[in-house]
Structure 1
Amino acid sequence: MLSRARKALLRLGASSLPPPPRAPAPAQALRLLRPASTSSKKKAHHPFTVSYLIGSCGLSPESALSASRTVQFASPSRPDVILDVFRNRGLSPTQISYVVRRYPRMLVSSPGNLSTKLEFLCSRGISGQELVKLVVAVPAVLTRSLGNHLIPTFEYISGLLQSDVKAVQSINRNPRILYNDPKVRLVPCIAILRDCGVPEAKIRWVVLFQPSTFFLRSDVRFDEAVSRAKEMGFDPLRTNFLLALQVIRGMNKSTWRRKVDAFGKWGWSEEDIVLAFRRNPWCMSMSESKIAGVMDIFVNEMGLDPLYMARHPTMMMLSLQKRIVPRCLVFCVLLSKGLIRTTRSLNGFLGVPEKLFLEKFVTANLGKAPELLDLYNEKMRNSSTTLTLGTL
C-alpha cells in the first residue's frame, strides 16, 4: 500500500468585489471620449453609450470605452429599466457598476426576461442578500435561458440533494453550480464517484458542502484525482476521500511538489507525507511559509520530533498567531513550573475550546503561575509576534 501511495504522491508532484476604479483626470477622460482617428469601424465607440456608462453606471472612462465596443444604444430607456431592476433587488451602485462592467450587454437585454429570471430565483429561496451575492459573484448566470437552463439545473440539484433548501445552500457556497451545465461536469463526476463506490449520502454531502470540488480549474482531471486518492489509501466510503479530492484538485502538480519539498526539509519521507495527508488532507493545502512557521515552532521551540507532527497534522492547521503561539507560551510556563510533565500532551492542549482552555490551564493555575493571564492576553493582543523561549 505504501509503495502505491508513494508513487501516487510523486505523480502528484510531477467572492469579493474589486475596488471601483479611479476616474482619470478630466483631460484624459475627454480624450477617451473623442472619436478614434485611426481605427476600424468595428472598434468605433458610441459617444452616448460611453457617456451613459460613465454617468449612470459608474464606469471609468476606460471601462466605458471598452464596453462601448460590445454594446451601443442611442436611448437610455431600456438601460434605465435594467438598472431599476437591479436597484429594486438590492444591488448597490458599486455592485451594479461591477455587473455592467463584466456584462455590458445586460443593459440591452429584455427587462421582462431579466425580471422573470430573478423572480424565479427568489421563488426557489434565493432572495435578498443571497440573490445579490449570486448576481455579483456570477453575473453571467442571468444570461442563461430560464426554461432551458436555470429551471432544469436547479431542479437537478434539488433532486440530487432531495431539498430545495439544500440546493440553495449549495448554490450559495459555489454559484457556478447553477451557471454550469450539469451534463458537462457535475453529472460525469458524480458517475465517477458512484463507479468507485462512494455512497449516495457522501455524494450528496460533497455537492452540498464542497461543490467547488467539481468546478476547480486544475491540471488534475477529476478521474485522475479519484485514482490517486485511492492509491494513497483513502477509502471511498469515508468523507476523507472527498476531502482528499478537493485538496488534490485544488492545486497544480508543481504546487503539490513544492508542498512535498517543504515537508521534506524537516526530514519527512514520502511515507510520512502520505500518513499526514491521510490523517488530515487539508495539511497539504497550507502555504510553504505556514509549513515552515509551524514546524519551526513545534520542532525548534517546543522540541517535538518532526515525525510527531506527521502523526498529528491537525495541530499544524491551527492559526499560528492566534492559537499556536499564545498557547505554546502558556504551555512553556506550565512546563517550566512542573505543572505539565511532558510535551506529548501538547496536541490536546492546543485543541481544546478557548473557554475550556482558559478555565483549565490559565485560571486554574494562577495561584502557582500568576503571570499566566497577563502573558497570554499580551500575546493575543500582539499576535503578529513570534514565540521564542527567551520571552519566558
Structure 2
Amino acid sequence: MPRLLTTNPEHVGAMVTCAEKLGVPCGSGMLRQALQAVAFLSEEKIAAKVDYLKNTFRWSDAEACVAVRKYPSVLRKSKESLKLRSEFLVSEVGLEPVSIAHQPVVLSLSLEGRLRPRYYVIKFLKENGLLHRDPSFFTAVKITEKVFVEKFICPHKEAAPHLAEDYATTCKGEVPTNFRFT
C-alpha cells in the first residue's frame, strides 16, 4: 500500500489498532484489506457499518465479527449493494445468515454477473432432475467460469440445448423470464 508511506505514522498506528479490534491481527493475510477498509473511516462509521451488516443480514455480534474478520472489505461495500445481496442470498437463494457470515467472500462477487446467473442455472438443473448431486451454492459461485461451464452447462447440452445461451444472457444482466428446457 504505497499510500501508507506518506501517511502520518500515528494514523497508521490507529488503523492497525482498529484492524486488530475488528479481529484482524498484524500477522494476518487480511491485514492489508483491513487497513484499506478502515483507512478513512472513523470508529463511529465502522460501528455504524457493522450495525448495518448485523441488521441487514440478521447476524449476531459474533457472526458480524466473523464476517468482517474473514472479509474486511465488506466495510467498503455500499449499503445498497449489501441490501441487494442480502435480499437475494437470504430471501431468494434461501441461505442461512450464519452461513453467509462464515463465507463472506460471496459478498464480493458480482450479483448480476455471477451470483444470479449461477443460481438460476443450478435451480433450473435441480428442477429438471439434471443434477446427480446437490452442489453447495458457495461451491457453484466460487469456482472459475471455465470449471462452472464444464461442470454445469456442457454436460446438459442435449437435454437443455438453450442452457448455455440462457446463462450467457443472464450474465449480461438480461434475465430470461425462465430458462428454456427445449
Give the 3-state SS of the residue equivalent to 2:30 in structure 1. Answer: helix
Amino acid corresponding to residue 35 of structure 2 in structure 1: L
How many residue pairs match? The answer is 176
What is the aligned partner in structure 1 of residue 29 from structure 2?
239
Contact preservation (8 Å) 1:216, 1:249: no
In structure 2, relative to structure 1, the CA distance for the partners of 1:225 and 1:346 (3 Å cut) is same
Give the 3-state SS of the residue equivalent to 1:239 in structure 2. Answer: coil
In structure 2, relative to structure 1, the CA distance for the partners of 1:235 and 1:332 (3 Å cut) is same
Contact preservation (8 Å) 1:322, 1:380: yes
Give the 3-state SS of the residue equivalent to 1:290 in structure 2. Answer: helix
Contact preservation (8 Å) 1:232, 1:274: yes
Q: Distance in 1 between matches of 2:19 and 2:65?
A: 10
What is the aligned partner in structure 2 of residue 346 from structure 1?
137
Amino acid corresponding to residue 347 of structure 1 in structure 2: F
Is 1:324 equivalent to 2:115 in the alignment? yes
Cα RMSD of the aligned pairs, angstroms, is 2.6
2:83 alignment partner, one of 292, 305, 317: 292
Identical-residue share of aligned pairs (%) = 26
In structure 2, relative to structure 1, the CA distance for the partners of 1:377 and 1:232 (3 Å cut) is closer
Q: Distance in 1 between matches of 2:119 and 2:74?
A: 20
What is the aligned partner in structure 2 of residue 43 from structure 1?
none
In structure 2, relative to structure 1, the CA distance for the partners of 1:369 and 1:274 (3 Å cut) is same
In structure 2, relative to structure 1, the CA distance for the partners of 1:306 and 1:216 (3 Å cut) is farther
In structure 2, relative to structure 1, the CA distance for the partners of 1:213 and 1:367 (3 Å cut) is farther
Amino acid corresponding to residue 372 of structure 1 in structure 2: L
What is the aligned partner in structure 2 of residue 369 from structure 1?
160
Is 1:358 equivalent to 2:115 in the alignment? no
1:221 alignment partner, one of 11, 19, 27: 11
Q: Distance in 2 between matches of 1:289 and 1:347?
A: 22
What's the TM-score once normalised by structure 1's chain length?
A: 0.41
Report how far residue 214 of structure 1 moved: 5.2
Q: Distance in 2 between matches of 1:362 and 1:323?
A: 14
In structure 2, relative to structure 1, the CA distance for the partners of 1:234 and 1:335 (3 Å cut) is same
What's the TM-score once normalised by structure 2's chain length?
A: 0.82
Amino acid corresponding to residue 230 of structure 1 in structure 2: E
Q: How does 1:306-317 map to 2 (within 5 A)?
A: 306-317=97-108
In structure 2, relative to structure 1, the CA distance for the partners of 1:237 and 1:257 (3 Å cut) is closer
TM-superposition CA deviations, 1:80-118 (whole Å, max 9, x none):
xxxxxxxxxxxxxxxxxxxxxxxxxxxxxxxxxxxxxxx
Amino acid corresponding to residue 335 of structure 1 in structure 2: K
Amino acid corresponding to residue 126 of structure 2 in structure 1: L
Q: Distance in 1 between matches of 2:44 and 2:132?
A: 42
TM-superposition CA deviations, 1:193-246 (whole Å, max 9, x none):
xxxxxxxxxxxxxxxxx22345579xx932222123223332322221232122
Amino acid corresponding to residue 360 of structure 1 in structure 2: K
Q: Distance in 2 between matches of 1:257 and 1:235?
A: 18
TM-superposition CA deviations, 1:314-365 (whole Å, max 9, x none):
111011111112111112112223316446x111211112122212211122
Question: Gapped runs of 5+ residues in structure 2?
Answer: none
Contact preservation (8 Å) 1:213, 1:249: no
Amino acid corresponding to residue 333 of structure 1 in structure 2: F
In structure 2, relative to structure 1, the CA distance for the partners of 1:320 and 1:216 (3 Å cut) is farther
Q: Distance in 2 between matches of 1:238 and 1:305?
A: 27
Q: Which has the higher contact order (CA 8 A, sep 6+)?
A: 2
What is the aligned partner in structure 2 of residue 123 from structure 1?
none
Q: Distance in 1 between matches of 2:125 and 2:24?
A: 39
